[in-house]
Chain A
């Protein structure tokens, strides 16, 4: 009888082991990797992509990001920094000029709420350092900068080179470069014929394709509590999501929170909103739009008006008093996952 009993025990154990094994097989088709690029986290999640092709795509994207940073990083020793400090007076590289012109395009689209010409304001608030020091700048300095009406309009193209008209102007592409990076990634995936990958660069997410029979699904962080989540959203292939929030880079002075997002209209680092999230349906420059379009809503004092000005509907905003203001079209896409009673959701 012994062998019979033994094999019965073995058989039982075998089934238990198979159950254990089954529990960990659900992730086998995904390939995930995380990098730190100039202090910003870059995450990839590939679905059914050969590892060597995924690796090649990631290496190419990171090489391009490093190149971008070596030109546009606002406080390291870069071309743009020299131009800002008037150490060089011209930018003549075609690609650099092209990127600056795209930024100018979006400055116009957002009616100046995204302003790539306010590097000196961001510096004045102490955000042009690796470690945030934060300082309340003199009103006189802020007034002086605001009164010079900084805009990329104050650049002239002369014989194929960009020159400053306003010598006080400082270019800072920090508000667009993450989104631009997502668009670079999109091009790279097309080139390598990669079908399904989710890319997250510093919180901005671009959904390329979809995994198996579902859409990529992302969670949105709770602006009050970074350990918690606020909502979930399914991203159709080719779409993107971006958030501007006061909880990433900030300092607190006299109980007031000052964020690295500086309002270009009044030079203030304070906003009545704690975050603004935008969903961009599949279209051209989806990455850049996910980065830039959140700014007008973050700074807006009249959301309805900003919605009309921007002719853009897919967004929601959280304020400092636990209110969430959301459009109808965004509400259809989102699923709240915060604890009941924690926020008050209202239509715009």
Chain B
């Protein structure tokens, strides 16, 4: 059965595992955001994440569900944006290159470095 793999495949597999673990470790540490920022065809639109909403943008369907968001449908070939599933943490983003679409989770107020009080 292992005949089907070549040495290079194991290398890719090992690399993949390392990246997977690193990504998960970082992913779990990200704080959750409360704004969904969508960049689509040269415009930026923001939605609160604290709602249930379905948005249609061209051939893309976006769904917001209490604190998280996903692309539920896309007409693109590879469907990476749909496969990525739900995002909810700050700076997480979903891209759909064929549609020139990007959505990012951010904080209530756009990032600032410090707070004066």
Contact = CB atoms under 8 A, between A and B. Distances in A.
A269 interface: no
B13 A218 contact: no
Interface of A: 2-3, 7, 10, 12-24, 26, 43, 45, 198, 200, 203-205, 211, 216-221, 226, 229, 232-233, 241-243, 245, 247-248, 277, 337
Question: Can you list the 9 inter-chain pairs with the closest CB atoms, starting with the nearest?
Answer: A203-B117, A221-B117, A20-B23, A219-B112, A24-B26, A23-B91, A200-B114, A17-B23, A23-B92
Contacts, number: 102
A224 to B, nearest CB: 12
B19 A217 contact: no
B55 interface: no
Interface in B7-30: 9, 12-13, 16, 19-20, 22-23, 26-27, 29-30
Given A3-B9, A15-B80, A21-B23, A218 B113 contact: yes
Contacts of B48: none
Interface string B85-102: 000010111110000000
Interface of B: 4-5, 9, 12-13, 16, 19-20, 22-23, 26-27, 29-30, 78, 80, 83-84, 89, 91-95, 109-117
Contact of A20 (B27, B80, B112): B27
Contacts of A198: 113-114
Nearest to A235: B113
Given A13-B16, A19-B95, A21-B19, A203 B116 contact: yes
Contacts of A12: 78, 80, 83
A126 to B, nearest CB: 22
B83 A16 contact: yes
A104 B62 CA distance: 62
A45 B114 contact: yes
